[in-house]
Amino acid sequence: MSTRPNNPAEFKETVRQEWAGAAPLWKKWNHKSVVQSHAATQLVVQGAALQPGMHVLDLASGTGEPSLSLAKAVGSAGRVVATDLVPEMLEAARENARAQGLSQMEFQVADAEHLPFQAGEFDRVTCRFGLMFFPDVHKALGEIRRVLKPGGRVSFLVWGPLEENPLFSVTFSPFLKHVQLPAPPPDAPGVFRFADQGKLAAAIAATGFRNVATAKHTVPWPWKGTVEDAWQAISERAAPFKKLLAALPPEKNPEVMREVFAGLRRYQQGDTIALTATLNSATAAV
């Protein structure tokens, strides 16, 4: 985390490589993750207040949600452009859209800070679990505003506080007893950068959006499978675990894993790990 370059272009390249490396693992867990994050997808779709035929730009689309669900909501007369910094992620999204016959979808590699679209091209811009990773979030929000039509609207979703998200708190804490990670600067890109709703609202309002509304939601985050399976998916998809696992003294590994599994098992109900997630939504208008 402290090894990231200071130069913005180099930083972006490092980020691109990290997400490109994660893409095959995101693809591997895509199906189960779509089910687990269904409530998050619904929050983005509802926040977008879509009408059939609308044109929607989804940023940081990853392996395809929420853009596939947005495409279903605007129907075959609509248009959804799924974008991501990383071609490998977008390729997985394209395959998923093809499998579902969503011909109203387009795919374009795009950095959220430099959108390759004309002014006023879209009715809606959406982003699920992406906004907090854009290094210059004000630049990205300015670009989002530029590509929206007058009267256009945004619908964003980000993670709420760490301690209210057992997916992370239960799995992080056993590591943090043995591994010291430097605290990131308050505005550094990261999973919990907009855990505070007020900070999210202020960033959006500072870019000139109107009617900014944020809300905190606690939603089901169910994982059908064993705790071992759940841990494998979490650790393979979430970048911080690579660093935590690498920094953990090997002799501590069995103890930490026992604690992670015991923590997850507290949420086990039959064949499901019945986690919940606390998320912040934001909507605003141009």
Ligand X SMILES: C[S@@+](CC[C@H](N)C(=O)[O-])C[C@H]1O[C@@H](n2cnc3c(N)ncnc32)[C@H](O)[C@@H]1O
C-alpha dihedral (41, 125, 207, 149), degrees to nearest 10: -150
Closer by beta carbon to ligand X, 111 or else 123? 111
Shortest distance (Å) from residue 87 CB to ligand X = 9
Structure tokens of 75? 């129907």
Closer by beta carbon to ligand X, 23 or else 260? 23
CA within 13 Å, CB half, 213: 8
263 is a site residue for ligand X (CB under 6 A): no
Distance, CA of 159 to CA of 171 (rounded, Å): 16
60-79 binders of ligand X (CB under 6 A): 60-62, 65
Shortest distance (Å) from residue 259 CB to ligand X = 25
Distance, CA of 263 to CA of 214 (rounded, Å): 31
Shortest distance (Å) from residue 283 CB to ligand X = 17
Structure tokens of 109? 């590699």
**Among 85, 144, 195, 204, which residue interacts with ligand X (rule: CB under 6 A)?**
85
Closer by beta carbon to ligand X, 80 or else 86? 86
In the bound complex, which residue of the shown chain has the CB atom lying closest to ligand X?
62
Q: Which helix (DSSP H) or strand (DSSP E) does residue 42 occupy?
A: helix 38-48
Shortest distance (Å) from residue 250 CB to ligand X = 29
Distance, CA of 110 to CA of 204 (rounded, Å): 20
Shortest distance (Å) from residue 14 CB to ligand X = 11
CA angle (114, 115, 121) in 5-degree steps: 150
**Among 56, 69, 70, 129, which residue interacts with ligand X (rule: CB under 6 A)?**
129
Tell me the residue ranges of DSSP E strands in 94-209.
105-109, 122-128, 148-159
88 is a site residue for ligand X (CB under 6 A): no
**Closest to 17 (Cα-Cα) out of 5, 35, 2:** 5
Instruction: Determine the distance from the C-alpha atom of residue 144 to the mean position of all C-alpha atoms in its chain, rounded to a whole number.
Output: 17
128 is a site residue for ligand X (CB under 6 A): yes
* Binding mask of the shown chain, residues 14 to 43, with x at each position contacting ligand X by CB under 6 A: -x---x------------------------
Total residues contacting ligand X (rule CB under 6 A)?
A: 19
**Residues of the shown chain interacting with ligand X in the complex, contacts defined by CB under 6 A:** 15, 19, 59-62, 65, 84-86, 89, 111-113, 128-130, 133-134
